[in-house]
C-alpha cells in the first residue's frame, strides 16, 4: 500500500509505474475521489465542531437546571446532517481503498526498465557447469531409478503436481532443510516454525490478496488460506505492532511447506518437480529501519547464495527489471541454479525489498531513538531456499555414469554420513 499523500504529490510517477509494472490502477479516479473526500471532511468537521460546542452548552444548562430544549432541537438537525456526510465519507473511504489496493509499489531507482524477464540483468554468476562423459539424465529418470520420488502414486492420492518423496529422496529433502536452517541460524537468523493456514487479513497484509486470490488454496468453512510461502505468517507476526529502534533489525528463518494452485500455468514446466502445488522451502524474513534496508537486501541475498555455494551448484543472480517485478516489491534478485539434466536454470530464490509497502498494509512501525517519531519499518524476504527445485539441480549435477548420486560434503552429516546414493 502506498501513502495517499505520496500519490497526491507524485501522480505522474505513480502512473508511469503502473504502466511499467503492467498494473491498471486508475490513478486519476483515485485523485478525484481523494479531493472529493477531503472537501466533505472540511464540511462535516465544521458541523461536528458546532455540535461539540453546543453539547458543552447543553451540559452546562442542565447542570444549572436551565432550559436547553431550543439548543437540543437545533442540534437535532445538525446531527442529522453529520450522519449524512459521515456516510458519504465512509463510501469514499471504501472506494478509495478499493482503488488503492491495486496500486503497485514503486521500484527502487537502481531497478532497470524493461518489458519482462528477458530484460532482467544478470548481476553475477558462480560455479562451473558439471561436465559429463555420458548423456546426463534428468531428475525424473534419476529419481525413478533410485526410487527417490513417486509421481504416479502421489497423483493417485492427491493429483498431479503433488510430489511424494521416498526413501533416500525423503532423507535428502530433509537433509537440505536441516542444512539450510542450521546454516541460517548460525548466521544470526532466528528460527520460526509457523502455522500453515492463515486468515484473510494475513494474506492481504503480505499482498497475496486481493491480486493472487485464485493462486491460493482456500478453506471456505473457516475462511483460512494455505500459505504459498512462510513469508505470509512470518511477516504478519508483528502486524499492528510497534518496535523500538534498538530491536531492529530482526532476522527470521522459517521452514514450511508451501501451497500454490498454479492456476493458469498448466502445460508450463509440468515435468516432475519444476512446478508443483506443494513444495518445501526455508524462507528468510527481515524487519529493518528504512536507512538500512538496501544493505539488508544485499546481505539477505548473500545468505541465500551461501547455501548454493556450499552445495557447489552453478548459479546466477538476476536483478529483475520493473516489468518483471512483483506488485509489492521495490527491488528483487532472483537466484537461479543450473540443472544440467534439464539444460536450464531454475529459479530457487527471490530476494525482495518491499520497503514500507507491506508494513503500511499491516501496520508495523518502530519508534525512532532520536526524536521518538513513529515510522513504518521496511520488510524484506527471500527464499533460502526452495528444496524441490534444489533437489532437481542437486541430483542432476551430482549424478554419475553408474546412475548413482554423490552427496555434497556439507550434506553428508545430515545423511547419516552417506557419500553416495546407490541403487538398492
Partner RNA sequence: GGAGGGGUGGCCGAGCGGCUUAAGGCAACGGUUUGCUAAACCGUCGUAGGGGUAACUCUACCGGAGGUUCAAAUCCUCUCCCCUCCGCCA
- Binding site residues, RNA, CB under 7 A: 3-5, 38, 41-42, 45-46, 48-49, 51-55, 58-59, 62-63, 72, 75-76, 78-79, 90, 199, 242, 367, 372-374
| C-alpha to C-alpha distance for 22 and 363, rounded to whole angstroms | 26
Q: Measured from the CB of residue 92, what is the shortest distance to RNA in angstroms?
A: 11
Complex with RNA: residue 199 or 215, whichever CB lies closer: 199
- C-alpha cell at position 375: 515510522
| C-alpha to C-alpha distance for 14 and 21, rounded to whole angstroms | 10
Q: Measured from the CB of residue 29, what is the shortest distance to RNA in angstroms?
A: 17
Cα 135–chain centre separation = 39
Q: Measured from the CB of residue 63, what is the shortest distance to RNA in angstroms?
A: 6
Complex with RNA: residue 75 or 377, whichever CB lies closer: 75
Q: Measured from the CB of residue 288, what is the shortest distance to RNA in angstroms?
A: 19
Give the residues across from 125 on adjacent strands.
316
Complex with RNA: residue 77 or 133, whichever CB lies closer: 77
- C-alpha cell at position 318: 538476476
Q: How many CB atoms lie within 10 A of CB 59?
A: 11
Residue 5: HSE in the Cβ half-sphere, 13 Å Cα cutoff = 0
Q: Measured from the CB of residue 242, what is the shortest distance to RNA in angstroms?
A: 5
Q: Measured from the CB of residue 380, what is the shortest distance to RNA in angstroms?
A: 22
Complex with RNA: residue 89 or 410, whichever CB lies closer: 89
Complex with RNA: residue 244 or 343, whichever CB lies closer: 244
| C-alpha to C-alpha distance for 311 and 129, rounded to whole angstroms | 13
> Nearest-5° angle of CA 39, CA 42, CA 77?
110
- C-alpha cell at position 170: 525423503
Q: How would you label 292-329 residue by residue, b for 16+ Cβ within 10 Å and e otherwise?
A: ebbebbebbbebbbebbeebebbbbbbbbbbbbbbbbb
Q: Measured from the CB of residue 7, what is the shortest distance to RNA in angstroms?
A: 11
What would the DSSP string read from start to end of 233-295? HHHGGGTTEEEEGGG--EEEEEEEEEE---TT-TTSS-STTSS-SEEEEEEEEEEE-GGGHHH
Complex with RNA: residue 50 or 101, whichever CB lies closer: 50
Q: Measured from the CB of residue 88, what is the shortest distance to RNA in angstroms?
A: 12
Q: How would you label 368-379 residue by residue, b for 16+ Cβ within 10 Å and e otherwise?
A: eeeeeeebbbbb
Radius of gyration of the chain (CA): 27
| C-alpha to C-alpha distance for 55 and 36, rounded to whole angstroms | 29
Q: Measured from the CB of residue 79, what is the shortest distance to RNA in angstroms?
A: 3
Complex with RNA: residue 77 or 110, whichever CB lies closer: 77
| C-alpha to C-alpha distance for 106 and 355, rounded to whole angstroms | 9
What would the DSSP string read from start to end of 85-121? HHHHHHHHHHHHHHHHTTPPPPPPTTSPP-SSGGG-E
User: Both ends of the chain: CA-CA distance in Å?
Assistant: 54
- C-alpha cell at position 378: 521496511
Complex with RNA: residue 157 or 374, whichever CB lies closer: 374
Complex with RNA: residue 72 or 155, whichever CB lies closer: 72
Q: Measured from the CB of residue 61, what is the shortest distance to RNA in angstroms?
A: 9
Complex with RNA: residue 52 or 270, whichever CB lies closer: 52
Amino acid at each position: 500500500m502506498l501513502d495517499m499523500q505520496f500519490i497526491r504529490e507524485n501522480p505522474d510517477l505513480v502512473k508511469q509505474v503502473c504502466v511499467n509494472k503492467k498494473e491498471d490502477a486508475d490513478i486519476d479516479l483515485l485523485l478525484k475521489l481523494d479531493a472529493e473526500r477531503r472537501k466533505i471532511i472540511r464540511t462535516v468537521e465544521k458541523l461536528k465542531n458546532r455540535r461539540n460546542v453546543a453539547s458543552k452548552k447543553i451540559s452546562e444548562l442542565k447542570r444549572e437546571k436551565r432550559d436547553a430544549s431550543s439548543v437540543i432541537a437545533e442540534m437535532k438537525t445538525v446531527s442529522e446532517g453529520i450522519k449524512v456526510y459521515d456516510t458519504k465519507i465512509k463510501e469514499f473511504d471504501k472506494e478509495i481503498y478499493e482503488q488503492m489496493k491495486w496500486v503497485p509499489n514503486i521500484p527502487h531507482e537502481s531497478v532497470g526498465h524493461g518489458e519482462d524477464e528477458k530484460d532482467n540483468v544478470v548481476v553475477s554468476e558462480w560455479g562451473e557447469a558439471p561436465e559429463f562423459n555420458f548423456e546426463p539424465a534428468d531428475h525424473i529418470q534419476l529419481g525413478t531409478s533410485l526410487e527417490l520420488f513417486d509421481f504416479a502414486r502421489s497423483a493417485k492420492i492427491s493429483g498431479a503436481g503433488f510430489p511424494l518423496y521416498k526413501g533416500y529422496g525423503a532423507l535428502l529433502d530433509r537433509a537440505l532443510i536441516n542444512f539450510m536452517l542450521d546454516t541460517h541460524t548460525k548466521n544470526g537468523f532466528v528460527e520460526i516454525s509457523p502455522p500453515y493456514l492463515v486468515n484473510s487479513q494475513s494474506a492481504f497484509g503480505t499482498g497475496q490478496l486481493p491480486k493472487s486470490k485464485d493462486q491460493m488454496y482456500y478453506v471456505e468453512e473457516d475462511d483460512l488460506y494455505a500459505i504459498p510461502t512462510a513469508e505470509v505468517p512470518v511477516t504478519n507476526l508483528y502486524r499492528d505492532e510497534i518496535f523500538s529502534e534498538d530491536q531492529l533489525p530482526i532476522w527470521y528463518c522459517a521452514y514450511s511447506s508451501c501451497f500454490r494452485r498454479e492456476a493458469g500455468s498448466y502445460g508450463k514446466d509440468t515435468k516432475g518437480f519444476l512446478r508443483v502445488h506443494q513444495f518445501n522451502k526455508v524462507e528468510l524474513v527481515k524487519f529493518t529501519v528504512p536507512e538500512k534496508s538496501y544493505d539488508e537486501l544485499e546481505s539477505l541475498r548473500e545468505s541465500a547464495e551461501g547455501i548454493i555455494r556450499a552445495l557447489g551448484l552453478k548459479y546466477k543472480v538476476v536483478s529483475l527489471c520493473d516489468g518483471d517485478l512483483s506488485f509489492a516489491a521495490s527491488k528483487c534478485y532472483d537466484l537461479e541454479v543450473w540443472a544440467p539434466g534439464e539444460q536450464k536454470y531454475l529459479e530457487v530464490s527471490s530476494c525482495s525489498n518491499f520497503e514500507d509497502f507491506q508494513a503500511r498494509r499491516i501496520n508495523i512501525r518502530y519508534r525512532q531513538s532520536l526524536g521518538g517519531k513513529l515510522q513504518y519499518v521496511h520488510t524484506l524476504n527471500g527464499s533460502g531456499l526452495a528444496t524441490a527445485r534444489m533437489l532437481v539441480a542437486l541430483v542432476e549435477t551430482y549424478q554419475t555414469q553408474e546412475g548413482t548420486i554423490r552427496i555434497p560434503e556439507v550434506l553428508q552429516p545430515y545423511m547419516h554420513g552417506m557419500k553416495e546414493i546407490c541403487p538398492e
